[in-house]
Structure formats: structure tokens, C-alpha cells
Structure 1
Amino acid sequence: MRHSERHRTEHIGWLRASVLGANDGLISTASLIVGVAASGTERSAVLVAGIAGMVAGAMSMAAGEYVSVSSQADTEAADLARERHELATMPEAELRELAGIYEARGLTPELAMRVAEQLTAHDALGAHARDELGLTEITAARPLQAALASAVAFAVGATLPVVVAAVAPDAWVSRIVTASALVLLSVLGAVAAQVGGAPVLTGAARVTFWGAIAMGSSALVGRLFGTQIG
């Protein structure tokens, strides 16, 4: 029977984009709402600012992630094309190179060559992609997946402060948005740490700390400039 294992590295791609997107959506939108509300602006303007920030942020996250991961995908494709060319034009040199990699990992020269020969016969490009370039199916760049995950996660994270701002009493908008955002940030930090195998309390504390700094700074700016403009 084949032994099946699940590794945390399987989650790296989508987890990174989703967690970063949700954190950014929550922190940036909550900070925007808190800052605008602290300036004394009417609720309608606060909601417009929050919704506009949510849409603009989601599109920005998607575009940024797509461009970044597309660059990675282009690099991977160029490396694979070069390997494909080298395998076609100098197969013996590539075989020795592959054997040298296995020998450096602890195999005897004879065994390393046999392994290289068998893997080359089975899937030469796959062997070089994996063992020379470090490219696998799990870590392969997926621009559209990363962009979509970032946009959706940002929008999901930004939804909470917008909804809270819509239902909270006028005098308590800043306080309730801040408190609810900090609670959710701590949950997101804990979940990300748990899935990634990191200490849960540390993951929750650091994202909550920086979220509090962001919202506090926005509130200060809103009060200062709101007073001056008013």
C-alpha cells in the first residue's frame, strides 16, 4: 500500500496569497474607515470611502500578484526552455550534470550515474526541473490563481469593517470597527500560523499589533486633518 502524506508546503501558494490578501483588506479598509470617521465625516461618506477602498484594494492586489507571479512564471519557463535545448544538443553533459547532483547529495558515483540514467530515460526534463532547478508541481507559479485568491481574500477581509461601519451607531463607528478588526486579525494570524506550523500566539500577536498601529495612525490623521479642514 502506498503511504500518503500531506505536507505544509502544499498550502504555500494559495495560503500566502489568501492570508496576505485578507489581512491587507481588513487592515487597510478598517484603517481607511477609522480615519475618515475620526475626521467627523457623515456616515455616507465613510461608507463610500470604505467601499471604494475595498474595490480599489482588491483590484490592486490582483494586479500586483498577477504581475509578480507572472514574472516568476516567465523565469521558470525560460529556465525550462534552456534545459530542453541543452538536453537536445548535449545530452551526455546533462546526464553527467544530473549524476553530479545526486553524487553531491551522498550517492556513490556509480549509483548516482545509474539513477541519473534511469530518471533521464523516464523523464529527462522533469528530472532536471526538479533536481537542478528546484521546480515542482507544488511550487510552480500560477499567476491567475494567485491574482484571484488575492482579490477575493482582500474583498472578504474588507467586508467586515464596511458592514460594521454601516450598522454601528454614529458615535461608535471608529471604536467598533477597530475592536472588531483587531479580533478578526488575531483570528487570521492564528489560523495562518496553525496551518503553517508556526506558534499560534506569535502569529496572532504580530498581525494584531501592526493592525492596531495602522488604525491608530489613521485615526490620528483623521482627527488632525478633520479638525483643520473643518
Structure 2
Amino acid sequence: MSAAGESPAAEAHEHTHADVSGGWLRAAVFGAMDGLVTNTALVAGVGGGGAAPRAIVLSGVASLVAGAISMALGEYTSVKTQNEQLDLEVAKERRELERNPHGELAELVEMLRVRGVDDELAPVVARQLSRDPDTALRLHVVAELGLNPEDKPSPVTAAVSSFLTFATGAVVPLLPYLFGASLLWVALLCGGVGLAAAGAVSSRFTPRSWWSAALRQLLFGGMAAGITYLIGLAIGVSVT
């Protein structure tokens, strides 16, 4: 217990943060939403055109497989390219630190001043931090690029996450047909419930309320399904 008049000693408390580096979470949310919207809209369009349940299932499964593979490959390539670009910029900054150490030191001093370090103290802190080349490099990269070179997302994790969540989302509107139901409105209802549920789950990682996130995703999916249904209906009528 502290003596009278003394402030209690401050204690550091461990805490964690959610994934915000563009890794599994972004890919998972994007994959699930894309799978739900894509196949709900596809079922609406093909069903609106008067296709038989067997044709709807065939189209939906083909869309599921093709979409999941496409999403996985796209996520892998996107994240891999982002990481390679970051590596290129890190190498460029390392060369600058080697070729022009005084200029880079002056740049670090200015960075510290902008971030609130006193003018007299900034050069001292900059020199201390620059004693370790890796620390200096990391500080420059984070300050100039806004990315931490030691916290790069995994392209494999993003690809697998995207593949699985797209496939899961895409199968939801097909469930009634797979279990023997042949009513289009039942499939669209399943797709709507899936969209709302996915939106509500995603709200756990954001400050948005669950009902607001669910309503937003339901609205987006409903718009896509409504438009494709009308197109399918028009094409079906013209073909017949």
C-alpha cells in the first residue's frame, strides 16, 4: 500500500487487438458475403427465368465451386502481391539508410517532432533509436508506409479462409433444393436469413450494432437478388 500523498505505482496490463492487417478476417467476411450474395442472386435469376429445380442446383453448385476457387486464388495473389510490394519498399528504405544515414536521421527527427516529441529531445531520441539499424528501418517503414514489415498477412491463410467461407455462404440458398424442396421463395428466404446472420456475426468485429449490420447485408443481398430475378424473368419470358 502506498504512503500518504504518494501516487500508486502504475501497472501494465496485457491486452490484445483484433486482426486488422488484412489477413483471415477480411478474407473470411468478404468470402462469406460474396458467396451468399452471389448464389442467392443466381438462384433468384435462374429461378425467375423458370428453370427447373435440377438446373438451379446444377447452376448453384457450379457457381459455388468456381467462385470458391476464384476467391481463393484472388486472395492469395492479392495478399502475396501486397507483401512483395512491402518487401520491395523495405529494401528501398534500407538502401536509403545505408547511402544517406544523415538525411534519414534528419527525417526521423522530423517524424518525432511531428508526433509531439520536444524539439530539443527529438534529435537525442532519433540518435538513440538509430543505433539499431533494424529499429530505425522499422520506424521509417511504419511512419512512411503505415505498415509493419514484421506483421504481414499470410496469403495461404487468406486463401483458405476465403475458399471455406465462400463455399459455406454459397451453399445456404441451395439447402432447400438439396433437401427436396422446390419452392423458389424458400431458397430466397434461406439466403436472406444467411445474409442477415452473416452481417450480425461480422458486427462482433466492429462498433456497428448487430441489427444494423444484419439489415445492411440483407438490403445489399436483396437488391442483388431482386435485380437478377427481374432479369431472369425477362429473359425467361422472351425465350419462351
Q: TM-score, normalised by structure 2?
A: 0.85
2:129 counterpart of 1:145: no
Q: 2:141 aligns with which of 105, 129, 144?
A: 129
- Deviations for 1:163-205, whole angstroms, at most 9, x for unmatched residues? 22212422x1x11111111112112112212312223332211
Which amino acid is 1:121 matched to?
R
- Taking the aligned partners of 1:86 and 1:95, their CA distance within structure 2 comes to 11
| Corresponding residue for residue 222 of structure 1 | 232
| Structure 1 residue 24 displacement after superposition | 0.6
Give the letter aligned to residue 128 of structure 1.
H
Shift of 1:22: 0.3
Equivalent residues, number = 228
What percent identity do the matched residue pairs reach? 36
Tell which deviates more after alignment, 77-86 or 147-156: 147-156
| 1:155 aligns to 2:167 (yes or no) | yes
User: In the alignment, which residue of structure 2 is the partner of 1:213?
Assistant: 223
Greater displacement, 34-43 / 95-104: 34-43
Of 45, 50, 55, the residue aligned with 2:65 is 55
Q: Is the 8 A contact 2:43 2:188 kept in 1?
A: no
Deviations 1:139-183 (A, max 9, x none): 63433332222222111111212222212422x1x1111111111
Which of 62, 70, 83 aligns to 1:73? It is 83
1:25 touches 1:155 (CA, 8 Å); kept in 2? yes
The equivalent of 2:115 in structure 1 is 105
Equivalent position SS for 2:16: coil
Amino acid at match of 1:45: A
Match of 1:110, SS state, is: coil
Q: 2:88, 2:150 → 1: CA distance?
A: 19
> Equivalent residue for 1:187?
197
Pairwise CA distance, 1:48: 0.9
Using a 3 Å threshold, how does the CA distance of structure 1 residues 4 and 140 change in structure 2: closer, same or farther?
A: same
> 1:9-48 residue pairs with structure 2 within 5 A?
10=20, 13-48=23-58
Distance 1:66 1:59 in 2: 11
Measure, in 2, the Cα distance between the counterparts of 1:68 and 1:215: 28
Moved more, 155-164 or 10-19: 10-19
> In the TM superposition, what is the alpha-carbon distance from 1:10 to its structure 2 partner?
4.0
Unaligned stretches of 5+ in structure 2?
1-10
Pair 11,143 (structure 1): closer, same or farther in 2 beyond 3 Å: closer
Structure 1 residues 139 and 227: alpha-carbon distance in aligned structure 2, compared to 1, 3 A threshold:
farther
Q: Does 1:7 align with 2:29?
A: no
Q: CA deviation at 1:65?
A: 2.4
